Amino acid sequence: MPWPTLPRNPFRAVPDFRLLLAAILASILAAAGAAAAVPAAGGPAGAPPAGPADTVVLLSIDGMRWDYPAKTEAPALSRMAAEGASARTLIPPFPTVTFPAHASLVTGVHPDRHGIMNNEFLDRGRGLFRREDDASWLLAEPLWVTAERQGIRSAVFHWVFSYTPWHGIAATRRVPFSAATPDAEKVDRILDWLSLEGADRPRLILSYLHGPDAAGHGEGPESPAVFRRVRQTDRLVGRILRALAARPRSALVVVSDHGMAAVSRVLRTRDILGAGEARRARPVSSGAVCNIYCPDARSCTSAQAALKRIDGMTVYRLEDLPAALRYALPSRTGDLVAIAPRGAYFAHGGAPAPPARGMHGFPPDEMEMRGIFRAWGAGVKKGARLDTLRAVDVAPFVCRLLGIDPAAGLDGRVPEGLLSAARGSGSAPP
């Protein structure tokens, strides 16, 4: 049976002007991003560096919780913290899952502006998003586009939305996604790119590593398998550090998208919303967050009541979402947003695979959802340390290191305390 056409807000018979204003603002920002994507005048490819770093490598490690490096041997990450800059925790956006987090890391804005609401969600005009590669889903300018339109060649090996052009601009070098590609192969390619000379060498390199995420889901967040993956990934970081040591005006930034928490219970939305009017609501979930899209007010009221019968469940109507979550985008956010209780996660139907032992997606104020941040090399202040840094602060930080202008109107701010005093000239890696 096909899903019904969904109204914007089934709870109201008249428009909610707060949501209407938010929708108009999102459209304006997307249009501004498209205008900004025109190549900048006077910014030819291979333009000389204006910031302290000639080359920046941004590396994301999936599922590397903030405390993992201290719980096992991670000498490369420890070296970065000692000789460079670090934050005790990196705060991801809500929900704390891979696609929204990686979008925030490279756009400098939250999901209510970049439009990636979860690993899976529904756009009321376009349809279902399910871990898509198409950059047209992204409503805010990504970092490699910011660099390319200012004459900085970029290369990306697996980062969400890097696989197709964004408003006509793409990374100079990009690699189609394959889940089977081992992390070591990605690092091999990064080292190859760093070995290029002259205009052929990209000055901004981004890559995503699988890291300990799969082990955390399958074996639990503090299992031996997780710590084996942490050590393996740290050795790969060490390879990049050694390569960059030969390039005095280079910098390495290492982040993660989220942490991991132990879970032992599956909440099957097919069963929860399987009776009465609630059956007409459409749940789309990933991890600890479920967006529920309703054809009318009666189905939403029934779905909300069914969800609230589960102890510890948090359920918001779209218009009542806390502003701090930065999650209200009327065209894509569910009419209801449900957050699983601790120790539980959502799935729709029967799952042939064994249930997960670790999960994420919970609000970012929970410490187990926090990630890592390390920076090392040119322009980075030795020994600098912050208690927290936000994922949205990473893009403007990288722009400062490269000496390029960030996209207009970012939510993120440059963490000035992590930068060396000689902003214009830079300093050699320790």
- Per-residue model confidence (pLDDT) at position 351: 56
In a domain? residue 429: no
Residue type, position 69, single letter: P
Does some domain include residue 24? no
What region does 287 belong to: left with phi over 0, alpha with psi -120 to 50, or beta? left
* Cis preceding linkage at 39, omega within 30: no
Asked whether residue 253 falls in the same domain as residue 287, the answer is no
Please tell me the distance from the alpha carbon of residue 396 to that of residue 287, in angstroms, as a whole number.
29
CA distance to 92, 110, 167, 409, per residue, from 32 (Å): 25, 16, 11, 10
Beta-sheet pairing, 371-377 with 250-256: antiparallel
Q: Are 243 and 200 within one domain? A: yes
Asked which of 357, 376, 394 is the last residue of a domain, the reply is 357
Q: Give the pLDDT of residue 119.
A: 98
pTM (2 decimals)? 0.89
Q: What is the CATH number of the domain that holds 221?
A: 3.40.720.10
Q: Which of 357, 392, 408 is where one domain is finished?
A: 357
Residues 368 and 351 in one domain: no
What confidence score (pLDDT) does residue 49 get?
60
282 and 341 co-located in one domain: yes
Helix, strand, coil fractions of the chain, as percent rounded to 5: 35, 20, 45
User: Distance from first CA to last CA of the chain, Å, rounded?
Assistant: 62
pLDDT tens digit at each of 430 positions of the chain? 334 334 443 333 333 434 444 444 444 444 444 333 333 333 444 555 689 999 999 999 999 999 999 999 999 999 999 999 999 999 999 999 999 999 999 999 999 999 999 999 999 999 999 999 999 999 999 999 999 999 999 999 999 999 999 999 999 999 988 889 999 999 999 999 999 998 889 999 999 999 999 999 999 999 999 999 999 999 999 999 999 999 999 999 999 999 999 999 999 999 999 999 999 999 999 999 999 999 999 999 999 999 999 999 999 999 999 999 999 999 999 999 999 999 999 998 765 578 999 999 999 999 999 999 999 999 999 999 999 999 999 999 999 999 999 999 999 999 999 999 754 433 334 3
Identify whether residues 148 and 96 lie together within a single domain.
yes
* Structure tokens that stand for 426 in this block: 């830079």
Whether residue 17 is contained in a domain is answered as no
Q: Within this chain, do residues 267 and 256 fall inside the same structural domain, yes or no?
A: no
127 and 247 inside one domain? yes
In a domain, 232, yes or no: yes
Instruction: Indicate whether 427 belongs to any domain.
Output: no
Q: What local confidence, expressed as pLDDT, does residue 184 receive?
A: 97
Instruction: Decide which of 357, 373, 389 is a domain's last residue.
Output: 357
Hey, how many other C-beta atoms are within 10 angstroms of the C-beta on 421? 7
Predicted pLDDT at 243 = 97
What is the domain extent for residue 217?
30-37+50-261+364-418
Domain annotation covers residue 140? yes
177 shares its domain with 254: yes
Same domain (yes/no): 257, 268: no
Domain count of the fold of the chain: 2
Q: Are residues 152 and 246 in the same domain?
A: yes
- How much is the pLDDT for 50? 82
CB 246 within 8 A of CB 48: no
**18 within some domain:** no
Q: Domain containing 305 — which CATH number? A: 3.30.1360.180
Specify if 44 maps to a domain.
no
Structure tokens at 166: 């964004």
Shared-domain flag, residues 204 and 300: no
The residue among 87, 388, 58 whose CA lies nearest residue 253 is: 58
User: In this predicted structure, what is the pLDDT of residue 349?
Assistant: 73
Do 84 and 185 reside in the same domain of the chain? yes
